[in-house]
Structure 1
Amino acid sequence: MEKTNIWKFINDCNVVGYTLIIPSVAVGNVGQLSCDLLISSLNMVKIASIYSPAQIPVIGYDPYDLKSNSLSTSCDIYISDIRKLLVLQLRAPLVHKYASGFLKDVVSTFREKQITDVIILTSSFAHEKKHILSSPFRFVASEGNPHTQNVRKANLVKHEENTGEPKVFGGGFASLLYKICLEYKLPCLILYKYCSEGDNIPDAYDMVQNLSNVVPIFAENQDLLTQLKQPVSWTLLFGRPPPQDIY
C-alpha cells in the first residue's frame, strides 16, 4: 500500500487490547458529536494526528480546553488508559477518491498495534426507518465480536438488511469501513441511529447512553448524565449570535 498518509504520534502508547471508536461523517453528524462527548467526559488525551489527501484540511483551537495551546486537525486520535479506549475523531468529510486507502491504513495500523476491535458510530436518514414504533437504534456486528453478549443484554435491534455488506443510508463510510475490518479480520460493530438534520445534541447523548450499555465506559453506580461533560466547542455549534447592531 502506498504510504500517502502521515501519522504524527505525540505519544506512541501501548494499545494492545484496546477498543477503537471511529465516527462516520453522516446525517446530523451524530457519530462525531458522540465522540466529542466521550472525549470531553472522559478527559481523553490526544496521542496522534493523521494527515492525508483523503481529508478536507481543517485546523483550529483545542475544542475541549480553552486554555490549551494544542491545535486540533481534521483527524486526531485520543486515548483513555483507564477505559482501554481509543477515539479517532474526524472533523471533516473524507474525499471519496482516497477514502478506501485511508481507512485501510487506519485499520491495518491499529491491527498491527493489536487492538481488540473497532466500533463505528454513525446515523441514518429518519425516513429510512421502516418500523415506526421500534427503537431508533440499530446495530451490525461481525462474527467474533467481543460485545455480542452485551448487545443482546441491551436489547438493541439488529440491522434489518444484513446481507454481509450492510447499507446504512446516510451513514457515510460506515459500510465501507465495516467491510475493510472484515477483510483484515478485525472484529467490528456498527451502532447507528435514525435521525434528521438539526440540533443533534440529544441524539449524541442517546448514542453515548446506548454505547455505554454495550461497552463499560462509565461508572454503573452513578447516573450517566452526571458523568457527561459537554465540550466547550459546543457553545458555538450553530455559530455566533447575530450582531445587535443589525436591529
Structure 2
Amino acid sequence: MAQINHWKKLTDCDLSGYTLIIPSVAVGNVGQLACDLVISSLHMRKIGLVYSPAIIPILGYDPYKIGSTNLSGCCELYECAEKKLVILLLRAPLVYKYGKKFLTEVVEKFKGENIKDIIILTSSFAHERKHIMTSPFRYVVNELSPHTSTLRTLDWVEHESKSETVKILGGGFASLLYEIIKEKSVPCLVLYKFVSEGDNIPDAYEMVQYLNTIVPLFDKSDIYSQLIHPVSWNLMFGGPPPRDIY
C-alpha cells in the first residue's frame, strides 16, 4: 500500500522568506520543549495539521490554552508572521519504515514554499560529550545556511565527525533529516545539546536562548522575562500521589 501523507491547511499564508524550525524527537525531548516555549511565548497560531503513517498517532488537549475546545495532534504547523517563523512540531516518534519518505516530502514541500532556511533542534546523550570543559551545545551547518557568518563570530563548538555523514547519537531523526536537506540543497543548521533524561525544562530555556542568538525572536537583554511557560508543562510529571495510599 502506498504511503500517503495528508497536509491540512487551516489558513492560507505565504511562507516565502520564513525560517522553518523542526524539532527531532530525541533524548529528553529538548527540541520539542524549546519549540513549545517559543510557540507559547510568541502566541504563534496553528496554520496546519499533518497526518501520516510515519508518525505514531496521538491526540490531546490544546497545550497552550486552558479551556480551549481545540485538540492537538501528533504533527502540527505553527506560524508567527511578525518574526517570519514557522514551526513544524512533531509530538511523536517516526515509524522507521516510513520515516525517510515522510521527511523527504517535508523538505520538498517547504522548499516549494520558498522558505529561507531550516533549523533542526535536537539533543544527544550526555555521555557522548567527549570534552567536558566545553559548552554542552554543538552545531552542524551546511554551506548554504545564512547563519554561517554569524556562527564564525560566536564561541560555539562545531559538531565533531570522523566521517562525512553526521551522526548525533540519541538525536532521533535529526541526522537523517540533515542529510536529506543537504541533498535537496536547502540551507540548514542543526543545534543540539548533550542531556540526560529527567526534568529537561532548564535545557529548553537554554536552547531558546542559543536559538535567539541566531534568529532574533526576543529582546536579548532579558530574554527569560519574555518566555511564557506553556500550560501543558504544569502537569508534565503528573500530579502528586493520592494521600489515601498512605
TM-score by length of 1: 0.96
**What is the DSSP-based 3-state SS (H/G/I as helix, E as strand, rest coil) of the residue aligned with 2:234?**
helix
Give 1:68 deviation, angstroms. Answer: 2.1
Give 1:163 deviation, angstroms. Answer: 3.3
Q: How does 1:164-243 map to 2 (within 5 A)?
A: 164-220=164-220, 222-243=221-242
**What is the DSSP-based 3-state SS (H/G/I as helix, E as strand, rest coil) of the residue aligned with 2:139?**
strand
> Does structure 2 retain, via aligned residues, the 8 Å contact 1:154–1:214?
no
Which shows bigger deviation, 146-155 or 186-195?
146-155
Give 1:219 deviation, angstroms. Answer: 2.1
**Which digits, 9 at most, give the CA deviation of each residue in 1:104-154, with x for residues without a partner?**
111111000000111000000011011010000000000121011222233
**Which digits, 9 at most, give the CA deviation of each residue in 1:68-112, with x for residues without a partner?**
222100000100001100111111111011100110111111000
> Does structure 2 retain, via aligned residues, the 8 Å contact 1:154–1:213?
no
Aligned to 1:82: 82
Q: Gaps (5+ residues) in structure 2?
A: none
> Does structure 1 retain, via aligned residues, the 8 Å contact 2:3–2:53?
no
Aligned to 1:7: 7
List structure 1 runs of 4+ shifted beyond 4 angstroms. Answer: none
Separation in 2, partners of 1:66, 1:153: 42
Which shows bigger deviation, 152-161 or 129-138?
152-161
Aligned to 1:97: 97
> Does structure 1 retain, via aligned residues, the 8 Å contact 2:3–2:98?
no
Aligned to 1:151: 151
> Does structure 2 retain, via aligned residues, the 8 Å contact 1:17–1:84?
yes
Give 1:160 deviation, angstroms. Answer: 1.0
- State percent identity of aligned pairs: 58
How many aligned positions are there? Answer: 245
Code of the residue aligned with 1:35 in structure 2: it is C
Give 1:40 deviation, angstroms. Answer: 0.4
